[in-house]
Amino acid sequence: MKVANKLFFIFGGASGLGEATARLLHSQGAYVAILDLNEDLAQSVASSLNTNQEATKMSSGMGPTERALHAAVDICDTESIEAAFALCDEKWKDVEVGGAVVASGIGMVGKTLERDGSPHNLDVFEQVIKINLTGNFNACRMVAARLVRDVPKPIPAPTEETPCRGVIVTVASQAGLEGQAGQVAYATSKGAIVSMTLPMARDLAWYSIRTCSICPSIFETPMSVQMPQRARKKTLATTEYPARFGRPDEFAHAAVSIIENDMMNGMNLRLDGATRLAKL
């Protein structure tokens, strides 16, 4: 799938991995909807993209229409997602939807038992699951429905010639494969996204929609900045090559590669520079 002239919904697009992906897609001629709970940051990113578009002649030869907008979206709130879709329909009624990158999420630290013998806070555990897993699935199901909304029903089975109708890229984590101590809630939520990827791809194959997840190691994002320095230093010592944490633009290139390559489907892509999370 070519990204130029297609609309992509970027959940969690106001910062970090989502923002980097939105910027790369936009630079390649795509329309991007920056959907984030932080409306001020989302507006700032969208305004920046539109300003850059105005100042630069894009190689795609696109017209003067602004190709970025923002909306306050809670991925756990279906109505806010529907409102964002309606906003895109109003502004870009003739633009074909290409899919989404679902990068919204939170990270919480807590052990099953703390040193004082107290159990993990159940409210915190449930909050992480609600946002990172249930919210993620909610965004995916809504995007899938949007991709087939205007397609005549019933939709026939795909053939060799059927073009890809859309792509959904979710953000799992290396922690979902080999979580560290203190990551029981976060690792559980991300491991569930890994497990969700293949059955979702099989569910959506009939509709010519692909879905993949990316499992990044530690990347330099606002979330990773909160990591204790001792843990950062110890984790960095386990990296192979590159001997550093990942950069958001490297994630963005991986996400766009998935969108562009039709054979990438039902896959969990490790993006970790051969790093394996060790005991802290």
Catalytic residues: 186
Nearest to 232 by CA among 242, 247, 217: 217
Pairwise CA distance, residues 266 & 87, whole Å: 30
Sheet-wide strand order for 96-102: 68-72, 31-36, 6-11, 96-102, 166-171, 209-216, 268-271
99 contacts 259 by C-beta, under 8 angstroms: yes
Helix ranges (H only) for 36-114 are 39-55, 78-91
**Helix axes of 16-27 and 39-55: crossing angle, nearest 10 degrees:** 20
Distance separating alpha carbons of residues 10 and 73, to the nearest angstrom: 10
What is the phi/psi pair of residue 15, to 5°? Answer: -160, 170
Angstrom CA distances, 237 to 104, 180, 234, stand at 28, 15, 5
Query: Whose CA is closest to 46, among 87, 94, 83?
Result: 87
Cα–Cα separations (whole angstroms), residue 132 to 48, 76, 127, 223, 279: 27, 9, 8, 13, 23
Number of H helices, E strands in the chain: 10, 7
- Report the alpha-carbon distance of residue 12 to residue 222 in Å, rounded: 12
Q: Locate 229 and state its tokens.
A: 């320095």
